[in-house]
Amino acid sequence: MIHIHNVTRRFGRMTAVNAVSFDIPRGDSVALWGSNGAGKTTLIRCVLGLLRFQGNISVAGHDVASRGKHARQLIGYVPQELGFYDELRVSEALAFFSRLKGLGRPDVAAALESVGLAGSERKRIRELSGGMKQRLALALALRGDPPVLVLDEVTASLDALGRHDFIALLERLTGQGRTLLFASHRIDEVASLAHRVAVLDSGRLAAMLPVAHFVSQQEASSQSSSVLHLTIPASSRSDALRVLSLAGFSPELNGVGVLVPVPLERKAIPIRILAEARVPVDDFEVVSMTDAAAAVKARQEHTE
């Protein structure tokens, strides 16, 4: 369904994506995994035809560079950061984006019911929670019933409950035979949604692994560790990265905060360090490798 061959994208002297090649058959689900700067978002933008690149990308046989409009008609895209006009009503947003896609007037009730937003037609965008906005973005992406979904860190701004509900919705939708390409920093999301994992390192494809193998590999290398997801105000994130790095941790930015790999017995220490440095932490969540392994096992049992 998606063919990516020898794709390279440079920004000046920096090579963001370096000779990446892999295929995603119809109905497959591939997660892009890697640290910040690994090339995940750049590769997604190349697939969407938003960036020029060297190499070849096609969607269902349509070359993205020469037949980009035809390729994009087959793709539903949900970005990490949403750009809605807050005063629009939900029904108006659906109608507006449908016109942009060249589609007819939408069945608003059916479109919203499919993503768990039934009864929200009259609400203004500003009245929606973060999770509801993501569901609306998904409803817009699904207009025209595209066979491919492309998602870029779509749960990064959601709390734990909103993330759980959104992933459950995506599991149901991808179970209907759609092809999925998505980027994520979260091992539990990858375990729940991906069949295979494309590991990117400094723009190169370091490995393409079955998801069970990937999770096992991560679990083995973690040595009873977990990942602490800290929700931190944007104005304080650079301070958080600096303070935690000086304390010997390896933090990474992710959506609304910072991811910090920690041994299970030290999971509270980053919060204490940030408190002592007067860096505010609005919320936190611990994601363990055990949870990810359990998600993979549950999917395998359901498939069997």
In this prediction, residue 185 carries a pLDDT of 81
Q: Which of 148, 145, 188 is closest to 166 using CA atoms?
A: 188
Model confidence at 205: pLDDT above 90: yes
Please determine, for residue 284, whether its predicted confidence score (pLDDT) is greater than 60: yes
User: Coil, strand, or helix at residue 18?
Assistant: strand
Of residues 219, 221, 256, the one with CA closest to residue 237: 256
Structure confidence at residue 162 (pLDDT):
73
How do residues 124-167 score in pLDDT, each as one tens digit?
A: 999 988 888 888 988 999 888 899 999 998 777 676 667 778 88
Question: CA 294 to CA 17: how far, in whole Å?
Answer: 32
Q: Would you say the C-alpha torsion 244, 245, 248, 251 has a positive or negative sign?
A: positive
**Cα–Cα nearest to 74, from 176, 145, 172:** 145
Domain ranges, ordered by start, for the chain: 2-218, 223-291
In terms of Cα–Cα distance, which of 67, 61, 120, 112 is closest to 89? 120
- Give residue 186's pLDDT: 81
The C-alpha R_g of the chain, in whole angstroms, comes to: 20
pLDDT at 200: 94
- The sign of the torsion formed by the CA atoms of 158, 174, 40, 140 equals negative
pLDDT over threshold 90, residue 55: yes
Q: What is the pLDDT of residue 132?
A: 87
Q: What pLDDT was estimated at residue 210?
A: 93
Distance from C-alpha of 3 to C-alpha of 65, rounded to nearest angstrom: 13
Predicted pLDDT at 85: 86
Q: Which CATH code is given to the segment(s) 2-218?
A: 3.40.50.300
Q: Give the residue with greater pLDDT, 74 vs 295.
A: 74
Q: Which CATH superfamily is domain 223-291 in?
A: YebC, transcriptional regulation domain (3.30.70.980)
pLDDT for the residue numbered 299: 56
Task: Report residue 263 as tokens.
Answer: 């041994």
Helices (H), strands (E): how many in the chain?
11, 14
Dump strand ranges (E) for 12-117: 14-24, 29-33, 54-59, 62-63, 75-78
Mean pLDDT lowest among 104-118, 178-192, 209-223: 209-223
Q: What is the pLDDT of residue 256?
A: 67
More confidently predicted of 171 and 4: 4
* Amino acid 129: pLDDT: 85
Residue 223: predicted pLDDT: 54
